[in-house]
Amino acid sequence: MIHSQKMHLAIFFPLMIVIGVGVFWYVQKNPLGSTTSDVAIDTTTPQTTDTLPTGEPSQIQKNTLANNTTGKQEHPLAILDKQRVEDIYAIQSALEHFWDIHGEYPYIDKYLNKLGRDGTACLNAEGFQPAGCADPYRAVVPYDPGLGAYLYMSDGESYFLRFTQDGKSETFPEGEGIYDLTTDGIVPLSYVQYVGEEGDSDGDQLGDAEEIAVGWDPNNADTDGDGFSDFVEVMNGLNPNGDGELPNGEMIRQMFLLMATAQ
């Protein structure tokens, strides 16, 4: 057992040195606070690097294009948050229609069902169904446009729709957290309160040493003050120290995930 642990450490530390040197070199050549075009979101031309393997634009690119049509430059995650609220109210409208007709809400004998996927792609008189409902109350049930999921629970008499918000807004001053939409309105279920601890002074789940290495403030959970924590931005491939996408973001994201796993 001891021998196995030593072998794991022998592999882990050289790997971290290689990753650390790579990140340090890249950041020196490409400062994350830079305002040059390789860091900022392009407001005129879609970024060809921001596409999925299928050739489809990623959600961040779609958000950028949406910004361009309105002339406003909103944070990509703020657009996702707004879309989540719109989706949740659209689902609620279909549920209330179901209630008006049947005197109950769609019941599913499972805990926390993900909506908009597989067996919950549409809603008709039979309840949530796979895609292609006949006479649907909701032909296409939306799903979370980001990394989360819309969750649904109902005993037939009441229900809740669970969704996330990545940042602060007038509607959600608590910011990052989990919320339930019920028949009584939106109820905060839990939201993140960043509490510092040893090695992570701002409590944003990103280690101090690593934040310092890439030029972020280890004492501020939201280095660039845009209402979205450093952790949320990293996990979504965005720059916590300025606008636009995170240069070499996937490598840096994996570095932080590896560090968190090791701890």
Q: Where are the beta strands (DSSP E) in the chain?
A: 113-114, 122-124, 127-129, 151-154, 159-165, 177-182, 185-191
List domains and CATH numbers for the chain: 2-74+194-262 (no CATH), 77-191 (3.30.700)
Lowest-pLDDT choice from 10-14, 92-96, 122-126: 10-14
Residue 259 above 80 pLDDT?
A: no
Q: Measure Cα distances from 218 to 84, 107, 203, 205, 207 in Å.
A: 30, 46, 9, 10, 8
Helix then strand count (H, E) for the chain reads 6, 7
C-alpha Rg value of the chain to the nearest Å: 22
Give the number of other CB atoms < 10 A from CB of residue 132.
Answer: 10
Q: How confident is the model at residue 257 (pLDDT cuts 50, 70, 90)?
A: confident
Residue 86 above 90 pLDDT?
A: yes
**What's the pLDDT score for residue 263?**
63
Q: How confident is the model at residue 254 (pLDDT cuts 50, 70, 90)?
A: confident
Q: How confident is the model at residue 72 (pLDDT cuts 50, 70, 90)?
A: low
Structure tokens at 103: 């005197």
- 243 Cβ partners below 8 Å, 6+ apart? 35, 39, 40, 41
Residue 56 above 60 pLDDT?
A: no
pLDDT in tens, 167-181: 988 889 888 999 999
What global pTM score does this model have?
0.69
Give the number of other CB atoms < 10 A from CB of residue 246.
Answer: 21
Q: Which amino acid is at 259?
A: M
- 198 Cβ partners below 8 Å, 6+ apart? none
pLDDT in tens, 13-44: 444 443 443 443 433 334 433 333 232 223 23
**What's the pLDDT score for residue 36?**
30
- Cβ(77)–Cβ(166) below 8 Å: yes
Give the number of other CB atoms < 10 A from CB of residue 7.
Answer: 10
Structure tokens at 178: 């989990």
- Cβ(176)–Cβ(87) below 8 Å: no
